[in-house]
Amino acid sequence: MQELLRSTRIVLVGMATSQAIPILGSLLITRLYLPDAFGIFAAWVGMTYVAAILLTGRLEMALAIVPDGAKRRYGVLATTLTALVSSTLLFMVVAVLVTGWPNLFPSIPTSLIWLFIPASLSIAISHIWQNWAAANGAYKILSKMRVSLALCVTALQIVVGYFLPTALALALTYVVGTCVGCLISIKLLPLHFEGNPSIRQLIPQVLSFLRSQKSFPKLALPAGVINSASSQLPLIFIASKFGVEASGLYALATRVLGAPIGLMGKAVLDVFKRTASKEFREQGHCRKTYRETFLILGLCALALAIGVIWLAEPAFGWLFGLAWKDAGTIAVWLMPLFAMRFLASPLSYVFYIANKQGVELIWQCILLMTTVASFTFSASFEQSIDFYVAGYGTLYVVYLALSYRYSKGLGGRSHNTH
């Protein structure tokens, strides 16, 4: 328990610093760039993050499952090669679309479209190295990676913004900054193999990793895409059914709740996936790590829930103005759901450890159907939120029950441990 708390604290400090840098930098950036430039850049960078997930096939999530040492390094190499090959194929597709249908993306300048692939690839490489550092338990190195990446991007956007405050400048500095951040990550955690093996010796190891982890691109990737769709659907439904004002209030409530909860949850996940994977490999289960992590998450979730329910409504009105006070009320409605999400999301890595990605994919499909039904069959905005929270919360209870069951190692060891 003490080791879990110590490691989580190290990761949390690094994540908080890396998140604070762009927030503080935005105080200057918003005075240099106009809102329309920000709007174009935001749409572009959102697409690059989705593409980055597709490039790796979610194989970076498998790195904590394989044993420490050479096998994990082969996994890093295999995942990096997958990203390189996928980005080459994606570049050819984008090139055909841009040259064949030049007006296909009218709201995004052509120059930004050409920057799309290098941006996506650099994000993908950054994710691979960060997951590798977390899998190794190198939490101080992981923090340095995240802070250096945030510093490179933010500093470049501020400097260039004085001379060229455009969406192209934001995108170009983002690409350069992430590339420099990747080089720093590779410098901090170099990929090398004992004996300097030849390409002919490396290829069988790379193919072995890809074969053993084929369930990630086949099952975990579509599950991740469906999860992203489920998280975006409420905004679309609310805007179309109850108006853009309700949608705006909901968006602010989820952003404010999601920021600290997501930050803490990701920090716990970075520690949990290494500790639980190691215990599962050595003992065939990860009950001890699961229970300790559940206790930590449960206490934090309870404290967050009490704070939000008590302070949300007056705090939103004070911080954002009286016009946004109702967002505090929505935050109170959503708090049970966010507390359950905070509790369940880090522990869901057990599905990967136990090779149960297929079960998670089914769960994500049911979640998508529940989300659609909650907003389709509701008569009012408040009722739709109630249905959504109740349905999502019930599914999270099932999620936790399944993850705890799999933490016991039922059904034997996963072939991912080989």
Q: What percent of the chain has pLDDT over 70?
A: 92
d(CA 325, CA 213): 48
Q: What percent of the chain has pLDDT over 90?
A: 30
pLDDT of 102 > 70? The answer is no
Q: Which letter, b or e, does each residue of 124-158 get, where b requires 16 or more Cβ atoms within 10 Å of its Cβ?
A: bbbbbbbbbbbbbbbbebbbbbbbbbbbbbbebbb
pLDDT band at 381 (very low <50, low <70, confident <90, very high): confident
Is 400 within 8 Å of 343 (Cβ atoms)? yes
d(CA 396, CA 190): 39
d(CA 183, CA 81): 16
Is 374 within 8 Å of 384 (Cβ atoms)? yes
| Range of lowest pLDDT (172-181, 204-213, 268-277) | 268-277
pLDDT band at 242 (very low <50, low <70, confident <90, very high): confident
The average pLDDT across 355-360 equals 90
Is 261 within 8 Å of 338 (Cβ atoms)? yes
What pLDDT sits at residue 410?
Answer: 55
What pLDDT sits at residue 379?
Answer: 84
pLDDT of 291 > 80? The answer is yes
Name the token pair of 322: 């009286």
What pLDDT sits at residue 26?
Answer: 67
Q: Which residues contact 106 (CB under 8 A, 6 or more apart)?
A: none
Cβ neighbours, 10 Å, residue 25: 17
The average pLDDT across 31-54 equals 77
d(CA 42, CA 170): 10
pLDDT of 113 > 80? The answer is yes
Maximum mean pLDDT: which of 82-86, 89-93, 259-263: 82-86
Residue in the block written with tokens 């170099």: 190
What pLDDT sits at residue 414?
Answer: 40
Cβ neighbours, 10 Å, residue 334: 23
Q: Which own/partner pairs from 246-252 qualify as long-range (CB within 8 Å, at least 24 positions apart)?
A: 246/381, 249/324, 249/326, 249/327, 249/330, 250/327, 250/330, 250/385, 252/316, 252/320, 252/324, 252/327
| Range of lowest pLDDT (169-173, 222-226, 336-340, 362-366) | 222-226
| Range of lowest pLDDT (118-127, 164-173, 360-369) | 164-173
pLDDT of 12 > 60? The answer is yes
Which is more confident, 94 or 123?
Answer: 123
pLDDT of 209 > 80? The answer is yes
pLDDT of 397 > 60? The answer is yes
pLDDT of 238 > 70? The answer is yes
- The Cα-based distances of 250 to 75, 183, 195, 235, 244 in angstroms read 40, 39, 56, 7, 10
pLDDT band at 257 (very low <50, low <70, confident <90, very high): confident
What pLDDT sits at residue 185?
Answer: 95
What pLDDT sits at residue 412?
Answer: 40
pLDDT of 106 > 70? The answer is no
d(CA 379, CA 386): 11
The average pLDDT across 175-193 equals 94
pLDDT of 13 > 80? The answer is no
Biggest CA pair distance of the chain? 67
Amino acid present at 198: S
What pLDDT sits at residue 184?
Answer: 95
What pLDDT sits at residue 156?
Answer: 93
| Range of lowest pLDDT (106-115, 138-147, 167-176, 184-193) | 106-115
